[in-house]
C-alpha cells in the first residue's frame, strides 16, 4: 500500500463517519459536527494529492485546502447561530421536532 492510498482511505473513513453522524444524530449541533468532519476529510484528500501530485510547487491543492478551511469556519459560525436562534424559538435542538418552517 502506497502512502497516498493510506491517506485516501483514512479520508474516506472520516467522510463516512461524518456522514453517518450527520444522518443519524438527533441533535442539530452534532449534525453540524458531522458536516465539519466531512469537510475535513475532503481537506485531507486535497493536501494528500498536493503532496504526492506532480507539481507541488504550484500550491494548488494547498490553496484549495486553506480556502476550504476559511469557508468551513464561516459555515460553522452561521450554522451555530441558526441553531441558537431555533433553540430560542422552539426550546429544542431535536431535529425530529423541527417539523414546521413557520416560527
Residues 10-29 touching another protein, rule: CB under 8 A, are: 10, 12-27, 29
Question: Among residue numbers 49 through 88, which ones bind another protein (CB under 8 A)?
Answer: 50-54, 56-57, 59, 62-63, 65-67, 69-78, 80-85, 87-88
Q: How many residues contact another protein, by CB under 8 A?
A: 75
DSSP category for residue 101: S
Task: Tell me the CA distances in angstroms from 52 to 30, 74, 89, one per residue in order.
Answer: 33, 29, 49
The minimum distance between CB 101 and another protein, in angstroms, equals 15
Among 56, 72, 63, 66, residue whose Cα is nearest residue 18: 72
The minimum distance between CB 86 and another protein, in angstroms, equals 9
- Rounded to an integer, what distance in angstroms lies between the CA atom of residue 47 and that of residue 4? 10
Q: Does 42 bind another protein (CB under 8 A)?
A: no
Amino acid at each position: 500500500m502506497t502512502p497516498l492510498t493510506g491517506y485516501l482511505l483514512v479520508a474516506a473513513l472520516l467522510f463516512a463517519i461524518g456522514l453517518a453522524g450527520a444522518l443519524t444524530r438527533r441533535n442539530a449541533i452534532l449534525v453540524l459536527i458531522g458536516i465539519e468532519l466531512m469537510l475535513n476529510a475532503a481537506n485531507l484528500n486535497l493536501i494528500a494529492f498536493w503532496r504526492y501530485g506532480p507539481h507541488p510547487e504550484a500550491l494548488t491543492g494547498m490553496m484549495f485546502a486553506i480556502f476550504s478551511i476559511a469557508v468551513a469556519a464561516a459555515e460553522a459560525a452561521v450554522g451555530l447561530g441558526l441553531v441558537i436562534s431555533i433553540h430560542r424559538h422552539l426550546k429544542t435542538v431535536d431535529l425530529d421536532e423541527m417539523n414546521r418552517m413557520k416560527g
